[in-house]
Amino acid sequence: MLRLPAFEYHRPQTVEEAARLLDGFGDQALAIAGGTDVVPNMKHGLFEPAQVISLRGLPELRGIHVRGAELVLGAGETLASVAAHPMVRLHAASLAEAAGLVAGPQLRNMGTLGGNVCLDTRCTYYNQTRFWRQALGYCLKKDGDTCHVTRVGRKCVAAHSADTPPALMTLGASADFVSARGERSIPIADLFIADGIWNTVRRPDEILVRVRVPLPPEGTRTAFRKVRQRNAIDFPLLNMALACELDPEERVRSIRLVVSALGSRPRMVSGLDEVATGRTLSDEVVEAVAGKAHQQCRPLTNIIVDPEWRRAMVPVHVSRMLRGLTTPAAAA
Amino acid sequence: MWSLVRFELNQDRRELGVASHWTLLEALRYGLGMTGSKQGCDKGDCGACTVLLDGEPTLSCITPALEAEGRRVTSVEGLATAEGPHPLQAAFGECGAAQCGFCTPGILMSAAALLDRNLDPTRDEIKEALSGNLCRCTGYTKILDAVELAARRLREAEQAEDERATA
Ligand SMILES: Cc1cc2nc3c(=O)[nH]c(=O)nc-3n(C[C@H](O)[C@H](O)[C@H](O)COP(=O)(O)OP(=O)(O)OC[C@H]3O[C@@H](n4cnc5c(N)ncnc54)[C@H](O)[C@@H]3O)c2cc1C
Ligand code: SF4
Ligand code: FES
Ligand code: FES
């Protein structure tokens, strides 16, 4: 049995009220949406809020629709509804795919898009019971002063483990936040930072209200891939998303590739324009793109699966994903 | 802090006092004595605690009890009727789809939700619907057989009813 620590539970009915509560309670407060990450983490003693603010009743966080040149997704929509929504499947297939590959069916009925974007990082030495962590003397991210992965102090390298952000980054999406101090919008590509303790520029009192995805230009193809131990329930050992605009002759106009679940933030692979733009996705181009990804991705032992193997899988899956864009059977 | 939570459980109205940090599973098992839903991992990994919340399979071990307010909860105790076990329960018995039985209540709920929306699922659709429920005993094959058998019987019953209605 894993009991939750005692807390007070608030169920605000508007986003203003929720923002006021988060502001008023300060570092005593924690927002909960689907609770699929927060509740296990509280049971493990990783978060110990005195006040829990539920975002489930907020109408402002609901709805998926196309408005103007954007696909707008409420942060409170479940992963199941994001995965199944016809507009998401039409305009942002990689996002629907990513949402549909999170965890298992029950967790997708409960977990939200907002919770997925704001998901805490994960590490073998962190996502454990208090008893387990205490036996090892805790770690830098929670209650301790060394990192068991790098074996020095100062920096936590826990893995960004959410599946939808890589897709959102390649699609050029933005996140709209509201707090008692006002509103701001952040491109998802700028949201994440390389600090495993708190890996976003979001302040804890900021509520993600919606995600906006610009409708991709004609000729854009998108893809998402995920590697995990079992093909259900498990978090990613490696995930990646691709958005590639091709001209009528199937030459690359633009290409964006993000690889994640390795370090504390998703990595936008750089230097792809010089190897791919203006060319078709020939074997040579596919290999060059996969090579760039391999060069730039260096996983650590933050997940208990051989980091060298995870690294070796990067070019393998990037190649399959690219080949699948032009010949779907090659993606298998 | 204690509060009252009201919800519909297996078509009965229930009202009970819960501490604000109780999970729905704790409210069911320890507040109401409904021990059909199992407490396995207690952290969202295994599916043994699956109940339907407004018809959707949900993990009650990580759902705050207060989030059940005003909603419709169906647990495994709600499957059988006065006439007898649910066709899924009967098929699980006949096919040997339960060994220790610990995963069974959760699997029955995931399967019941599937058959509610699709009476003719393919084997892959059944696998997908049950992919959030772990079983350490059966190797899953007999579970898939049992769901197929129950689906067939439900289809036949529906067809017989249609024929009676048009006769
Ligand atoms: C067994 C298991 C397997 C899982 N597998 C995967 C997986 O494969 N891939 C994956 O990506 N995830 C996985 N998850 C994690 C989780 O289920 C999902 O990431 C889910 O999308 C989280 O959403 P939630 O609404 O439940 O978030 P919550 O748990 O409610 O919240 C998560 C975090 O986000 C914050 N938050 C939530 N909503 C908002 C908002 N609107 N504004 C500001 N902050 C907010 C919370 O304060 C908290 O810090 C798994 C979880 C479990 C238990
Ligand atoms: S990376 Fe290091 S500091 Fe961060 S959670 Fe893991 S062990 Fe702790
Ligand atoms: S007991 Fe709820 S998922 Fe295991
Ligand atoms: S029958 Fe024992 S776990 Fe499934």
Does residue A233 fall inside a structural domain?
A: yes
pLDDT band at A332 (very low <50, low <70, confident <90, very high): low
CATH number of the domain bearing residue A167: 3.30.465.10
Q: Say whether domain B2-78 belongs to CATH 3.10.20.30.
A: yes
Q: Say whether domain B87-166 belongs to CATH 3.40.50.2000.
A: no
Closest-CA distance, B87 to chain A, in angstroms, reads 22
Q: Which amino acid is at A14?
A: T
Above 70 in pLDDT, residue A145? Answer: yes
- Ligand 1 touching residue A207 (CB < 6 A): yes
CB atoms within 10 A of CB A218: 9
Is the same domain home to A193 and A266? no
Last-in-domain residue among A146, A179, A214: A214
Is the same domain home to A90 and A230? no
pLDDT at A40: 98
- Ligand 3 touching residue B150 (CB < 6 A): no
* Averaged pLDDT, B124-136: 98
Does residue A140 fall inside a structural domain?
A: no
* Cβ–Cβ gap A110/B62 under 8 Å: yes
Is the same domain home to A164 and A259? no
pTM of the full structure: 0.97
pLDDT at A330: 64
Is the same domain home to A266 and A169? no
How many angstroms does the Cα of residue B47 sit away from the middle of ligand 3?
5
Q: Where are the domains of chain B?
A: 2-78, 87-166
* Averaged pLDDT, B119-127: 98
| A242 sits in which H/E element | strand A238-246
A82: containing domain: 59-118+159-214
Closest-CA distance, B56 to chain A, in angstroms, reads 7
Distance, CA of A78 to CA of A262 (rounded, Å): 25
pLDDT at A326: 85
Distance, CA of A118 to CA of B47 (rounded, Å): 24
* Averaged pLDDT, A33-58: 98
Does residue A320 fall inside a structural domain?
A: yes
Q: How many structural domains are present in chain A?
A: 2
CB-based contacts of A253, cutoff 8 Å, min separation 6: A217, A219, A245, A246, A247, A277
CB-based contacts of B42, cutoff 8 Å, min separation 6: A1, A2, A43, B25, B49, B61
pLDDT band at A327 (very low <50, low <70, confident <90, very high): confident
Which atom in ligand 4 lies closest to the alpha carbon of residue B99? 1
Distance, CA of A255 to CA of A270 (rounded, Å): 10
Does residue A19 fall inside a structural domain?
A: no
